[in-house]
Structure 1
Amino acid sequence: MSFSDNKLTVRSPADLVTAVPYLLGFRPSDGSIVVIAIRDRRVVFAARSDLPAPDAPASDLLDLVANLVPVVRRQQPITDLMIVGYGDADRLDPALHAVGEAFTAGGMTVRDLLRVTGTRIFNLTCDNPACCPPQGTPFDPTASLVAVQATAAGLVALPDRAAVAARFAPVDGAARDGIRRATTAAVARLKSLNAAGSTGGDEAGAQAVRDALRQHDAGKRLTDDEVAWLTLLLKRPSVRDLAVALTQPHDRHVTFWAEVTRRAEEALVPAPATLLALTAWRCGDGALAAMAADRALQVDPTYQLADLLRQALHAGLPPSAFERATATVRTSPSE
């Protein structure tokens, strides 16, 4: 079995478990469940969710499954599924069986149900002790060929979701003070520009986006004044849409928008956070994309592009479908 872009080859349950953090971008914590969709021996999709708390009503698990099944079904054609849960047997085994039964009832083939407890893997669908011993199969992800392949391919698995969020967490202290002063100056500058002509902001915004991306690609860090000016002008839908068009789906631009989001004044976070979300999604990093979209909506719950992006992520749509669907929405003057 291999990834759809041929970066990793998976030959065993231990390989698959080692690969999961690279699929997600972070290591799942106990209480997580991951559904991996496979098409002709290639991994094409992975969805992760937190299981309900141990004392939660049974209906909570049913609700989770009711959301997961249609998301995975949209990835058709799918030949089979692998489902991996993390945690102890008492909590995970009943949940894994329930999730597997739901996907089977939905017409999909579940190849294996795997539980990861500590450094052991338990296969709940195999009763052959020769390959699936009752005490589990030990695995060491650091010694796996998959980990070597992932490192060579430039894939990263952060320790947890908190480490993903830290990539675009707001700067504080002196860095925050500097951005605040720069943003005040940028507001005054924009007022003067607007007084000189109604299209000045759009032209300045286009130039700011081009200059900022060019500087970053050349290895130069933006100054506080440049970040403040860029984020202020990104409030204009036309400027933000140009940024969408000019941003490329590679790690350099993910890093760029993460840094701009970190340094932006709170009120100006939605646009760069949404650009970060879209860029991460186009790079295959669904976890970062979802968290960045949530960050945008924390600041402005009415920010339409971030809301549409989050809905698309939750629905399991590919970036191409989202971009087609939002081609007209992105330029709406009401946003």
Structure 2
Amino acid sequence: MDTYDAYRPWLDHPGTLIAALPAMLGFVPEQSMVLVTMDRNGLGCAMRADLSDDAASTARQMAEVAASSGPDLAVLVFVDGAGASCRMCNDDYRLLADEVTAVLDAHGVVLWAGHVVDRIADGGRWHCVDGCGHSGVVDDPAASPLAAAAVLDGRRLYRRRDELVEIVAATDADRARGLADLIGQAGHGGGDRPAAAARRDVEHVIAAAAALAEGETVTDGDVARIACALTDPRVRDTLYALCVGRTSDQVEALWSMLARVLPVPWRSEALVLLAFTAYTRGDGPLAGVSLEAALQANPDHRMARLLDQALQTGMRPERIRELARTGYRMAKRIGVELPPFGLRAC
């Protein structure tokens, strides 16, 4: 059996691989470089970065992260506008591909090909970056098998990355300042409180998520209490368990709302909970933008860094889901009964 038989459908048809990128990323990339890894199971992960003035440094970083997961090979795709709107010329693409090749070679990973495409849409045009003379047309992204799988999994595909970022964008600076005052007035949290206090806070979060799902209003007082509770590691650990239980859809909506309204630093905790929930159900794009926002708010957040590294290296959602078992152990200690592990809403 040829070493690359598992990859042939993608390697032999660049237009098909390029058309699959929106489903892998969750949005249609523009002015981007995308590095796709492959192993014996087929496609691995897809990493994207803007085409920018420091593209060479970014390309090397992407290659280091990609190599750390031990793939067999990778394909590099540059998405740049047609004609005069192109940010770079082909020599620039080739030099960036050389940077990626050098890093991957050092780790025993093959950069199989580099492609330049003007747009990822039905009829978009691609050509090889190394001057081999190969070129072609992009397949219809909407007809990609990966796009169909994403829809069946309940994932939304976005036309642009900006639409995805808006899901976690802060929405009301005045409200955030008011919430900061309320949180300061509440003045509780931390891990030195009685277990009963932590239990009541977890129960309050569960009730707030259920109320939000029923269309009820979660008051600023409720939001401030939850923010305070997130500073207690016992509460925070237990909440990760909720992300994989029967009511995970309810708590995900709550994390999303909290991420948009809470001020820093409490906002970062809501973002990481949202990222964890999205990751465990296979929504890597939402997890990615949530983690990016969380690390902007708190670059030293340990859980955010752990999840970001796992996502960048293509760790499977089922492995990440296992982290929630710590939450179940903590729930038992503080006396909270949670939905059984692994039962998610459909």
TM-score of the pair, normalised by structure 2: 0.69
* 1:252-311 Cα shifts (integer Å, max 9, x gaps): 654432222112244421221121122233334444334323433444455443344445
Query: Is 1:17 paired with 2:15?
Result: no
Q: Match of 1:85?
A: 78
Q: Match of 1:223?
A: 218
Q: Match of 2:334?
A: none
User: Structure 1's 42 and 212: CA in aligned 2 closer, same or farther, altered over 3 A?
Assistant: farther
Aligned positions of 1:57-72 closer than 5 A:
61=56, 63-72=57-66
Q: CA deviation at 1:208?
A: 1.4
User: Within 1, Cα distance between the matches of 2:179 and 2:296?
Assistant: 23
One-letter amino acid of the counterpart of residue 29, structure 1: E
SS at match of 2:168: coil
User: Within 2, Cα distance between the matches of 1:95 and 1:143?
Assistant: 30
Count of matched residue pairs: 301
Choose from 242, 245, 248 the match for 2:244.
Answer: 248
Q: CA deviation at 1:205?
A: 1.1
User: Unpaired segments of 5 or more residues in structure 2?
Assistant: 1-8, 81-85, 331-346
Q: CA deviation at 1:187?
A: 6.1
User: Structure 1's 112 and 221: CA in aligned 2 closer, same or farther, altered over 3 A?
Assistant: farther
Shifted more, 91-100 versus 256-265: the winner is 91-100
User: Structure 1's 203 and 180: CA in aligned 2 closer, same or farther, altered over 3 A?
Assistant: farther
* 1:188-224 Cα shifts (integer Å, max 9, x gaps): 5676x99xx84553122121122234445x5445512
Q: Match of 1:4?
A: none
Query: Is 1:201 paired with 2:197?
Result: yes
User: Within 1, Cα distance between the matches of 2:144 and 2:197?
Assistant: 53
User: Within 1, Cα distance between the matches of 2:253 and 2:15?
Assistant: 31
Q: CA deviation at 1:163?
A: 2.0
Aligned positions of 1:107-146 closer than 5 A:
107-118=108-119, 119-124=124-129, 127=132, 132-133=134-135, 136-142=136-142
Q: Match of 1:5?
A: none
User: Within 2, Cα distance between the matches of 1:143 and 1:199?
Assistant: 53
Q: Match of 1:237?
A: 233
Q: Is the 8 A contact 1:190 1:201 kept in 2?
A: no
Q: CA deviation at 1:127?
A: 4.4
User: Structure 1's 226 and 93: CA in aligned 2 closer, same or farther, altered over 3 A?
Assistant: same
Identity %: 24
Shifted more, 159-168 versus 10-19: the winner is 10-19
User: Within 2, Cα distance between the matches of 1:313 and 1:152?
Assistant: 21
SS at match of 1:167: helix
User: Unpaired segments of 5 or more residues in structure 1?
Assistant: 1-8
SS at match of 2:157: coil
Q: Is the 8 A contact 2:64 2:103 kept in 1?
A: no
Shifted more, 104-113 versus 13-22: the winner is 104-113
User: Structure 1's 203 and 209: CA in aligned 2 closer, same or farther, altered over 3 A?
Assistant: same
Q: Match of 2:83?
A: none
User: Within 1, Cα distance between the matches of 2:45 and 2:79?
Assistant: 19
Q: Match of 2:69?
A: 75
* 1:23-58 Cα shifts (integer Å, max 9, x gaps): 11222221x2212122236212222233442xx5xx
SS at match of 1:269: helix
Q: Match of 1:3?
A: none
SS at match of 1:29: coil
User: Structure 1's 106 and 265: CA in aligned 2 closer, same or farther, altered over 3 A?
Assistant: closer
Query: Is 1:33 paired with 2:33?
Result: yes
User: Within 1, Cα distance between the matches of 2:100 and 2:182?
Assistant: 55
One-letter amino acid of the counterpart of residue 73, structure 2: D
Aligned positions of 1:147-296 closer than 5 A:
147-172=147-172, 177=175, 198-199=194-195, 201-216=197-212, 218-224=213-219, 225-248=221-244, 253-296=251-294
* 1:131-157 Cα shifts (integer Å, max 9, x gaps): x44xx4254434656545543443333
SS at match of 2:203: helix
Q: Is the 8 A contact 1:170 1:262 kept in 2?
A: yes
One-letter amino acid of the counterpart of residue 67, structure 2: R
User: Within 2, Cα distance between the matches of 1:234 and 1:228?
Assistant: 10
One-letter amino acid of the counterpart of residue 159, structure 1: R
Q: CA deviation at 1:107?
A: 2.0
User: Structure 1's 70 and 154: CA in aligned 2 closer, same or farther, altered over 3 A?
Assistant: same
